[in-house]
Amino acid sequence: MIIVNCALRQDDIVKIVENITHDGINIFKCVAKEDLRLFFKCNFFLNKEKAKKIAHDAIINTNIGRTLFFNVVDINEYPWVKYPYY
């Protein structure tokens, strides 16, 4: 599971990340929004670093992604985040 931290245009970020596909399969699904955090479940077997890079590259390669301040992290980098679907 990855977290995208972004304060603005969260709906656009969700659309961008949920539209990432691999062999016709959507890789990510937004499962929760909590303040600045968008939680995405990975529906495809990827290692953490590759999943973060795929999501980051997809966002940064859009017009809004170049202007937004955001970061993509693995949920394990935030040990204090308790998420029920994890």
Q: What CATH code is carried by the domain that includes residue 7?
A: 3.30.70
Specify if 73 maps to a domain.
Answer: yes
Tell me which DSSP letter residue 77 carries: G
pLDDT at 80 (0 to 100): 79
CB of 52 closer than 8 Å to CB of 74: yes
Look at the chain and report how many structural domains it folds into.
1
Alpha carbon 7 to chain centroid distance? 13
Specify if 85 maps to a domain.
Answer: no
Which of the two residues, 79 and 73, has the higher pLDDT score?
A: 73
Which of the two residues, 46 and 2, has the higher pLDDT score?
A: 2
Compute how many other C-beta atoms are within 10 angstroms of the C-beta atom of residue 52: 20
Specify if 57 maps to a domain.
Answer: yes
Specify if 82 maps to a domain.
Answer: no
Give residue-wise pLDDT tens across range 56-75: 999 999 999 999 999 999 98
The values of phi and psi at residue 15, to 5°, are -60, -45
Specify if 13 maps to a domain.
Answer: yes
Give residue-wise pLDDT tens across range 9-43: 999 999 999 999 988 889 999 999 988 999 999 87
**Which domain does 7 fall in, by range?**
2-77
pLDDT at 15 (0 to 100): 97
Specify if 86 maps to a domain.
Answer: no
pLDDT of residue 54 exceeding 70, the answer is yes
